[in-house]
Amino acid sequence: MKKNFRMLTMGYLIFLSAVLGAVLYAGIVVTAVTFHSNQWLGADVLTRFQEGKIMTENFLRLSYVVNVLVVVVVLYEGYKFKKFERDTLTQIATFFVLATALLFSQYYIPDIISMQQQGEAMTKSVAFVNTHKGSEINSKIFALSLLVLIVQNMRKACK
């Protein structure tokens, strides 16, 4: 592997790992703190709807980074594919990373924002609950696929 491409690969792996860390942190820590604000503030200052709006803003900002990730993955993995440096597991992981990333940023986030703008009653509807559950499942698939992509690229880079 050429020195410049090795450096690019290191940057790519660091970026993928940082995004994975951000996704896990947002999903595990930020969510737990935001939806239990009464424990941290000492009183019920925020309603569940207000906590949800704060959480949505966090995920909206995360979606900007996820969109950058989509571009970076397409460019890097596309280049590797064109150079015939490919394997089935990496291709599958790349597909799932791209599909779930785009679902997160282009489908679930706008849909949840739209429902929240319709008011608190809409966020208690079956449609919202199902959309939210779908976004949670999507995020888990995204994180797992991203981890597989990182491991596959690290494995190849360490040869």
Q: What is the predicted pLDDT for the residue at 44?
A: 82
Cα gap 2→95, rounded to integer Å: 26
What's the one-letter identity of residue 36? H
Q: What is the predicted pLDDT for the residue at 1?
A: 58
Cα gap 51→33, rounded to integer Å: 10
Displacement of CA 75 from its chain's centroid (Å): 18
The count of structural domains within the chain is 1
Domain holding 138, by residue range, is: 3-157
Q: What is the predicted pLDDT for the residue at 86?
A: 84
**What separation in angstroms does the CA of 107 have from each of 47, 84, 138?**
25, 32, 11
Q: What is the predicted pLDDT for the residue at 3?
A: 84
Q: What is the pLDDT of residues 17-33, one digit of tens each?
A: 999 999 999 999 998 88
Average pLDDT, the chain: 93
pTM of the model: 0.91
Tell me what percent of the residues of the chain surpass a pLDDT of 90.
77
Mean pLDDT of 133-154: 97
